[in-house]
Amino acid sequence: MGCIYRRNKIYWVKYYRNGKPYCESSHSDIEAVAQRLLKRREGEIAQGKQPGVVYDRISFDELADDYLTDFRINKKRSIIRAEHSVKTLREWFGGMKVTQITTTEIRRYVEKRLEEGYANGTINRELAALKRVFNLGAECTPPKVSQVPHIPMLREDNVRKGFFEPESFDLVMEYLPEYLRPVVFFGYCTGWRKEEILSLTWKQIDLAQGIVRLEPGETKNSEGRTIYMEPDLWVEMKKLLGQRKIGCPYVFNAFGKKIGDFRKSWKAACKRAGIPGMLFHDLRRTAVRNMIRAGIPERVAMAISGHKTRAVFDRYNIVSSEDLKAAALRRQEYREKQLERLQNGYKRPINEQRVVTLRATTP
């Protein structure tokens, strides 16, 4: 059983859980307030829960450290982004106890970030990190948080819709440095991510079978992937094999070294091609769109491009202006066929003629 006692004018409560004593201030000089607090804590203990005072001692910084530790021990690729999100979150929630981080407090944080001019997508990445911080705390044994606060996400309307038409792609290829052209062509064909392409080594290429493999752990979602090369891509890879630099394991390289950041060359080529602002990632959208337009089943296209979820894949399967024009032509073609049927003396089936006759004779 617990008890109530006073320190100066403030009432305190004392209770036990598994033989361990807990002392907690009621922050009030009214005895009834302390009695209600003691009753609530004893109820939590009777239900097998930790007393709330335990959670009052856990800080956001402790949970944030656990979050980063989870990234390091699982060797997650997005550790740099996670560290940046935690650094930003600490500026607002650092030093706070987890029980102080409520939905209202989170909304205040979001409002501040919006006033600073940050995009909804950037803020959502930070909120996703905050949600993961709390979920990891709830999964601990014993748990470090009693409940995960509701974290409202912002609506994102900044989905990119960039993709390459064949003419613009050929122009970009023409203006790129020669060593980058195979990289871009591979991305245009497969829709793979830039780092997945740049990290390819010759041990992952089987020209005899026409296969390119990514082993588990080498992709963003940590799942392996295997694709068969179309003839044009196979010819390009065979050409690269003939130009292979001794001692360089990378398929795509710059004079025997792994290709690094080439944004400057990419931007210059896109500008000269008359399509400034295009991203290398737009090749991924283009590849997805081209596969679907070619009649490749969506499940197979997802396996090639490495999309794990249908929701993200659908964002890449973008309708272009050419698709809309083709739809207009198909509608016109359908209308012309309908008019042709009428001009050729379309006759109703017997059952339709009977219905019309009955309606005409019905008083």
Q: Which residues 6+ apart lie within 8 Å of 101 measured at CB?
A: 60, 93, 134, 149
Tens-digit pLDDT string for the chain (363 aa): 688 888 888 988 887 777 778 787 888 888 898 888 788 777 776 766 666 566 778 899 999 999 999 999 988 878 888 999 999 999 999 999 988 999 999 999 999 999 999 989 899 999 999 999 999 998 988 888 878 899 999 987 655 567 888 899 999 999 999 999 999 999 999 889 898 899 999 999 999 999 998 876 555 555 677 888 999 999 999 999 999 988 999 999 998 999 999 999 999 999 999 999 899 989 988 888 888 888 888 778 777 877 666 555 555 555 555 666 666 777 778 778 877 877 776 555 555 444 444 455 544
Query: What is the spatial distance between Cα 177 and Cα 239, in angstroms, rounded to a whole number?
Result: 17
**Residue entry with tokens 């059952």:** 351
What was the pLDDT predicted at 183?
Answer: 96
The answer to whether 176 touches 269, Cβ cutoff 8 Å, is: yes
Report the CATH fold assignment for 166-316. hpI Integrase; Chain A (1.10.443)
Q: What CATH architecture is 60-139? A: Orthogonal Bundle (1.10)
For residue 348, what pLDDT is reported?
54
Q: Where are the domains of the chain?
A: 3-56, 60-139, 166-316, 322-361
